[in-house]
Amino acid sequence: MSEPYQTLFTRIINRELPADFIYEDEYCVVINDIAPQANVHLLVIPRKPVKRLVDAKRSDTKLLGHLLWVAGEMARRSGVGDAFRVVINNGADAGQTVFHLHLHLLASEKFNESDIAAP
């Protein structure tokens, strides 16, 4: 029997590595990014370790919808509900460095066109 897929985020979720948990439920956790690219930079991480968005299965649609809902809720709670971005990097060439699907919630006072390709 093989070991379940383990990532840096799995270790954070399992509390093996420290992180500042902003929110958690049975499907996901939200933490502050350790290298923020905006005034608000949260990571919404599913407990289920899907490697990339393209690897999600049809059975993951409820989870994916929940992750988006949580991103919106975190934006509202953070006071940035009127102007934020949700970014998903899919694959190394797109900037994904941890192969455990996660959403970046980014908010600054105002985004510029040059910020479009943010993480």
pLDDT tens string, the chain, 119 residues long: the values are 445 678 999 999 999 999 999 999 999 999 999 999 999 999 999 999 999 999 999 999 999 999 999 999 999 999 998 999 999 999 999 999 999 999 999 998 776 655 555 45
Domain count, the chain: 1
**What's the pTM value of the predicted model, to 2 decimals?**
0.89
Which domain, by its residues, includes 32? 8-108
Q: What is the CATH number of the domain that holds 42?
A: 3.30.428.10
Cβ neighbours, 10 Å, residue 13: 22
Write out the two tokens for 58.
């049809």
Beta carbons of 71 and 31 less than 8 angstroms apart:
no
Within a 13 Å sphere around the CA of 96, how many CA atoms are in the beta-carbon half? Answer: 22
Gap between the Cα atoms of 103 and 106, Å rounded: 9
Interacting residues of 96 by C-beta distance below 8 A, sequence separation 6+: 52, 89, 90
Asked if the structure places residue 2 within a domain, the reply is no
Confirm whether 21 is domain-assigned. Answer: yes
Active site residue ranges:
102
